[in-house]
Structure 1
């Protein structure tokens, strides 16, 4: 990934190199192109050409670089700093000093400096040519020429401090005149005296390859942060080496996954008023400072970004801030205003565009087509950017628990996913409870069914004790047998069929008439005559068969009537009619179907009672599932608390400015409102629900419980509260709790008509409490609750939290308003340095400490 050209970036800088112009170069046949290509392949951004007392290859290198084919696969931009390695002879040894000059300089600059140092011949000689001037003089000559003097390989042979462990006045004088040294071992100061270490404390340590052949170029280098490669940028970086010099091999140029590239404003009342020329504000991917006096448009910058990203509605609960934004829209925008923010998301470009009275639109840039096209989605969801004005920070400080919303929307907590799991389990529990009530209602019918079964059994027993059961059964069998016999002997269909044969009419060939017929037709007529005669015979035979069949049926009936079965049937029928007469004489109507109905009813009741047992089994299973689901609801609620606490520990940890602690189910400020909503009683009954000092009220023990009460005891208090409320809803009297009779009646009525209300109450839990403490005394590590802090201390604590977590862009408007300079440096500057490598930070400020000490990569004025 590469950083845009706007603002500062890190450049890989090789401070010490040699070309064939040096007498000790290892490859005299090396060309300028070979030399440049080696640096480019080593991905060096800046190079100092430091041949021994010579600048003869500087112009050659520059000329070759200007003529390179940028289409070459190995080509990359290179910034060339002319320079030289100057040898100085002291009383005991020879010392090398690197002279580095601006890229705009050339061979003449270096030759002139060498001349001032007394070197007019022997250029390039590594051994014998040296300056006639002192170390002090050479350093001053280089600096007067606009260059930077850097002692070469200071801890190695021919180094300024080679084999030196103690300081003296001369060494301290030399060191005070320079800003940086090249060292072989970055830890070389560990073995020297405290005095020498102190004398070197201000120095920037840099590295150079000291390459004497092209393959060694870039082997050792430093990363220098500059707005652009120049001698002034280098001097500033070396002076501020803590933040602007890195000696690691890893490229410190990093890009966050999401950052704003620019803001564009068209046709605003006081900005972007020239048609076709929108006001454009570039932004760096890392730390940006927006500066200016009061009334110069800093807030316009912030609120324009807020509008373009569709984030103007997210502070609707902060009424006075929301009103200011609405006033801003009315006061500075008009029907033609267009505000656009370019967003880089994982190296893909998007534009979020605001227009008056229109929804915010998103466009995406296609590199292949070189054009923008409409894209889908809401910028609030797709481009998570945190925007905080000073008033928002103050609002957060006055209600620390509102920070939970920020914590919940972090990737670590991910409350959206948690809420989906929680609601799913909660609905599962409510469904189980509905099923349980339905099953219990069905099971309640068992008592009624038992009574019905008793009555039916009594009727059946009475009927059967009179001996009527056998009579009735025999009669029923008789009726069934007669019906079966009659059906088996029924041949009416066959008789009808034979009768149908008799009635079939056969027609003569009358259409021939009486006229003479041809021989062939005469033959047909004779054939038909024979056919008619045969049919008539069959019809006569069918008539005989029908008479015979009728006789057979008659004979069958007579034989059955004379049989023993028929005589027994008469006895059965007689006994049955006697029973009917007996009931009639008693004034009752004997209904044989009634007995059958009793039997059917008994079977039906027994079947239902058998199903009741199944329902009881299902009820027990449902209760098990409900208990499991209830436990899961609590586990999920605890999981949210654990995620919140883990986030606080990871993000805040041992932060010296702010501490946070999550107390589960302990937000007493919202507990009464939340409890009332859970039991469906929004107003009244204060003495029963909660009244300060009223020990018999429902919420007294919870509200008055110590803040450090263990989770186990807090959960027990909650369970006791739920049992108490549900007990009252069932009409029970609960000792130790005084409840208004009207409230008790209301709970009973709700239990009868809204049972699901108490299912939901069972899974009700109070809100968690976020305790925020600020550093009252940073040195002594003393903390106090933020509610007791001053405006500045509150703002410091909240800012420490806001800046310490997340990787999304964060925009803060004038965070210094309530802070003194000590807090600004200790809090804001330190947090900027800790966070700007992983996220884009935009600070709108008029305090120079934030801009300078925070080392802004880019400043918008």
Structure 2
């Protein structure tokens, strides 16, 4: 490459290239000028400038006409590269691609590349093309070069990579048999900056913490498995694409053993793979427990387990130096969480024992209006030390809950169906109380109608009608007479108290004329008053006269006759049990009320039928929702474990273990240990009790048979609880169920939708190759942990934080499991592992490692990637087996 300068570098910058290896044919005359040009650009900052790292080198032609790319460290001088070219035996003109050398490809590797003064990386140039080391004859795998010669080259182990233009081209058998699996890189091979040769047209992505020769060496040794990706890889790869959710950092401030003083302990994480290492007592568990506190994951620990007890002891403020507790009064934990591109800051305070949520807004943190911390909002899969072991014990409930969380199996639909069923059954009970009144109402109505019928006979009815008519007329007359006398009394009372005094004036007060007028008024008033008094007396006389006439009238005779007939009839009916003829009206009213009640009761009876029908439909919906839960669990496990060579998990509908089922059923009944023979017992005659019946039902292979058997058991329990069955179970147990139902009216209904939980069959492959799967109960502690770790790594896209998963895990299992699973997973989910095993760190390909230490308090001694030399030394120093792990991974590089 000639005349390289600022314009050419700007083209690579514009193409988004971060590093460029500039390797001219058999020469390095451009090196110093190019580096000077770049230094000038850093000062002047021309438009389009961005940082770029230039790796100088040379594409060397050997005696056997193979091309060898040799890359040197950034900043290597032209003189040093020319010294290498000379040492490699090149005898042609500098920069001449057709020049030749005096040393073979093999000699250059053995005699020059290994010289300590030349720190460089050898790569076979365009190996599948002309002058390429692996070029084959047309339509065959036979190499153009001698096969024995190639084997000698491969045997040196000195090649770091091969440049391959077309990865689909067959390679010689000698290379395949060598099992080198060298990194296959590609470059633009740009000479004219046009067409397919332009910058960025072909490139290789290399994972490096910093672009140095040492980092490049390590990345090439890692190869496609870890650190090398090509632009033409069949599976698209975006190195800058991050998981939707990941933890950016966690900070511990003013804890008992960490974060004291002015500077809190802060750990920043990669979105991909992370490791936290350190010896005992260096703060690894502090990070784990702090994350659990700030992320609200306390409820995921079972109170009966060691992880819960350990966490509880940690989350205390000690009153003395010998007390449990790793907190202080002012301890705070801060978590920065990136969710769907938005940053959140969660701060947990020991003072309030609560977490406050902040959102980033224009570079500032503002308190979020939504303070909820839920599994959906800030998803994290967090497993403390020893917690994995609880997932593979006899109680599969923790594992089942994990599956439900991971598969987003929401129990709300099932609970809603249960609530609807209970509501309708409650309404049905109320309707039944009304409908149950029908027989009594019918009897009462029959009696009343019999009495009314007697009173309604034709002769009786005529007498009652006549009496009621005259009685009503008399009441009207008496009422009018009373009103008249009331008027008379009020008028008489008015004139008795209202006297108008005559006006007697003295001559000095009035003139004679006005006195005459006044006297005239007095006279008029007196005349009127006397006239009114006379009218009142006349009215009194009229009332008395009218009443006297009435007494001797024809109407009075008819009234007296009606009254006598009524009295005679009353005496007659009293002898027949009807005490009061006035009861007729009451009976008629009562008949109407009872008839209305009966209609309502009959309507309630009809509504009861409808309500029970709807409740039955709701119960069927409950069963369907319960079946859906099982189906979703099966589909989820089938999907996430498809092709998994380590673990298989299958679902047994309603098939939880006897221990789990008995515990759940006793919780329903609030019965701790009693009623063993009715609930569950294992004896000489086998198993017996309700749980045994459920276990037998769950074993049925046909779904319809299984569902019918489950329903029969539920119905039996319901009938016993409601008192319909007085034979099944012991009397004590029957009384227990009946009493439960009397205390809780919906208890019997709840028995109709109580289902045993699903069971899980976990199997693992002893060989780790997807064959010979064995029940996990037959495996060692390490094999059980390996199976669970395989599942945890495969099943979700949430950030995964595991504290010391290697406990009871064999090194061979760690290597096989960690390497394959982390590689397959970390591009989709963030992984953070707290560990003291170097194989997890080294072979797990952690992008970020935090090494913890202790000196009066826990602190972060070092952080970075394993490409960093200081970090590698730290790992080798503090982790037993660290050097071996690095040697196994990087072969000769340690």
1:166 to 138, 142, 147: 142
What is the CA–CA distance in structure 1 between the aligned matches of 2:183 and 2:285, rounded to whole Å? Answer: 38
Q: Is the 8 A contact 2:644 2:770 kept in 1?
A: no
User: What's the CA shift for 1:473?
Assistant: 1.6
Q: Secondary structure at the match of 1:51?
A: strand
Identify which of 328, 336, 348 aligns with 1:335.
328
**Corresponding position: 1:614 with 2:571:** no
Aligned-residue offset at 1:454: 2.6
Aligned residue number for residue 800 of structure 2: 810
How far does residue 46 in structure 1 lie from its aligned partner after superposition? 0.9
Aligned to 1:13: none
The reply on whether 1:859 has 2:849 as its aligned counterpart is yes
TM-superposition CA deviations, 1:625-681 (whole Å, max 9, x none): 211221222222222222222222222234221111111222222333433444565
Cα displacement (A) at 1:229: 0.9
Distance 1:457 1:205 in 2: 105
Match of 1:428 among 420, 444, 456: 420
1:109-128 equivalences in 2 (<5 Å): 109-117=80-88, 123-125=94-96
Match of 1:285 among 253, 271, 289: 271
Q: Deviations over 1:30-60 (max 9, x none)?
A: xx44323322222111111233444344444
Q: Is the 8 A contact 1:260 1:343 kept in 2?
A: yes
> 1-side partners of 2:681 and 2:357: how far apart?
56
Q: What are the ranges of 5 or more consecutive residues in structure 1 without an aligned counterpart?
A: 1-17, 22-31
Given the alignment of the two structures, is residue 46 of structure 1 paired with residue 19 of structure 2, yes or no? yes
Over residues 519-544 of structure 1, what are the superposed CA-to-partner deviations in whole Å (9 max), with x where a residue is unaligned? Answer: xx776666656655666666566567
Cα deviations across residues 433-465 of structure 1 (Å, max 9, x unaligned)?
A: 222222222222222222222322333333444
Paired residues of 2:448 and 2:587 also in contact (CA < 8 A): yes
Report whether the alignment pairs 1:671 with 2:661: yes
475-484 or 721-730, which deviates more: 721-730
Pairing 1:246–2:229 present: yes
Offset from partner CA, 1:670-705 (integer Å, 9 cap, x none): 333433444565543433443332677444433345
CA contact (8 A) 1:498 1:545 kept: no
Q: Matched residue pairs, number?
A: 817
**Residue in 1 that maps onto 2:211:** 229
The match for 1:8 is none
TM superposition shift of 1:105: 1.8
User: SS of the residue aligned with 1:285?
Assistant: coil
**1:104 partnered with 2:75:** yes
Equivalent residues of 1:259, 1:285 under 8 A apart:
yes
- Residues 72, 459 of structure 1: alpha-carbon distance in 2 compared, 3 angstrom cutoff: farther
Q: Which moved more, 1:301-310 or 1:851-860?
A: 301-310
Q: TM-score, normalised by structure 2?
A: 0.80
1:67-78 equivalences in 2 (<5 Å): 67-68=41-42, 74-78=48-52
Residue matched to 1:724: 716
Which ranges in structure 2 are unaligned for 5 or more consecutive residues? Answer: 316-322, 852-894
Instruction: Check 1:753–1:618 CA distance in 2 against 1; reply closer, same or farther (3 A cut).
Output: same
SS of 2:391's partner is helix
Corresponding residue for residue 383 of structure 2: 388
Matches of 2:631 and 2:130 in 1, distance apart?
A: 59
The 5-angstrom pairing of residues 58-69 of structure 1 reads 58-66=31-39, 67-68=41-42
**Aligned CA distance change for structure 1 residues 565 and 181 (closer, same or farther; 3 Å):** same
Alignment CA distance shift 1:261-1:624 (3 Å): same
Please report the RMSD computed on the Cα atoms of aligned residues, expressed in angstroms: 4.0
CA contact (8 A) 2:330 2:351 kept: no
1:193 CA displacement: 4.8
* Matches for 1:314-333 after TM superposition, within 5 Å: 314-326=300-312, 330=323, 333=326
Q: Deviation of residue 475 (structure 1)?
A: 0.5
Which of 554, 562, 573 pairs up with 1:572?
Answer: 562
Task: Give deviations 1:556-614, integer Å, cap 9, x for gaps.
Answer: 76887787655543432342244356568x69996321222222222222221122111
CA 1:469–1:375: 2 relative to 1, 3 Å: closer
Cα separation, 2, equivalents of 1:263 and 1:179: 38
Instruction: Report the equivalent of 1:148.
Output: 121
TM-score, L = length of structure 1 = 0.83
Q: 1:598 aligns with which of 581, 587, 603?
A: 587
Deviation at 1:247, TM superposition (A): 0.8
Which whole-Å CA distance do the structure 2 matches of 1:71 and 1:562 have between them? 136
Structure 1 residues 157-236: aligned runs within 5 Å: 157-162=130-135, 164=137, 165-167=141-143, 168=146, 169-174=148-153, 177-189=158-170, 192-195=171-174, 197-198=176-177, 202-214=181-193, 216-236=198-218
Distance 2:46 2:773 in 1: 61
Change (3 A) 1:789 1:499: same
Q: 1:728 to 1:47 in 2, by over 3 A?
A: same
TM-superposed CA distance for 1:326, in Å, is 4.8
Task: Sort the Cα spacing of 1:632 and 1:203 in 2 relative to 1 into closer, same or farther, 3 A.
Answer: same
Greater mean alpha carbon deviation, residues 328-337 or residues 232-241: 328-337
Query: 3-state SS of the aligned residue for 2:142?
Result: coil
What secondary structure, in the 3-state scheme, does the structure 1 residue paired with 2:607 have? helix
CA–CA distance in structure 2, aligned partners of residues 590 and 325 of structure 1:
84
Whole-angstrom distance in 2 between the partners of 1:373 and 1:501: 83
